[in-house]
């Protein structure tokens, strides 16, 4: 983690909104392109992963990951 992981940013809400939109686009795209090769669909999801990883790089993201690892919050 870096130093920014402890201090909340004004852009955190925008990051989370964009991250959830990318996740939704991945789910919808995966079902829309179900006839395509699985390899292409997996590569598209992997290409979107860095955008989602950016949200994990701050305090709320770390708390979300810890909650996810423990089970139901």
For residue 22, tell me if it sits in a domain. Answer: no
For residue 48, tell me if it sits in a domain. Answer: yes
Helix or strand (DSSP H, E) at 7 = none
- Predicted TM-score (pTM) of the model is 0.60
Note down pLDDT in tens along the chain; length 73 residues: 454 455 566 777 777 788 888 888 888 988 999 998 999 988 988 888 777 776 777 777 778 778 878 876 6
From residue 72, give the alpha-carbon distance in Å to each of 11, 16, 18, 25. Answer: 27, 20, 24, 25
For residue 29, tell me if it sits in a domain. Answer: no
For residue 31, tell me if it sits in a domain. Answer: no
What pLDDT score does 48 carry? 80
For residue 23, tell me if it sits in a domain. Answer: no
Residue of 40, 48, 42, 41 lying closest to 18 (CA atoms): 48
C-alpha span between 33 and 45 (Å, rounded): 12
**CB-based burial of residue 25 (10 Å sphere; 0-12 exposed, 13-18 middle, 19+ buried)?**
middle
Domain count of the chain?
A: 1
Enclosing domain of residue 67:
38-73
């Amino acid at each position: 983690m870096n130093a920014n992981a402890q201090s909340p940013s004004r852009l955190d809400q925008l990051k989370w909104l964009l991250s959830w939109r990318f996740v939704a686009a991945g789910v919808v795209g995966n079902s829309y392109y179900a006839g395509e090769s699985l390899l292409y669909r997996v590569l598209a999801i992997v290409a979107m992963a860095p955008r989602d990883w950016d949200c994990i790089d701050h305090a709320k993201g770390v708390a979300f990951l810890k909650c996810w690892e423990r089970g139901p919050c």
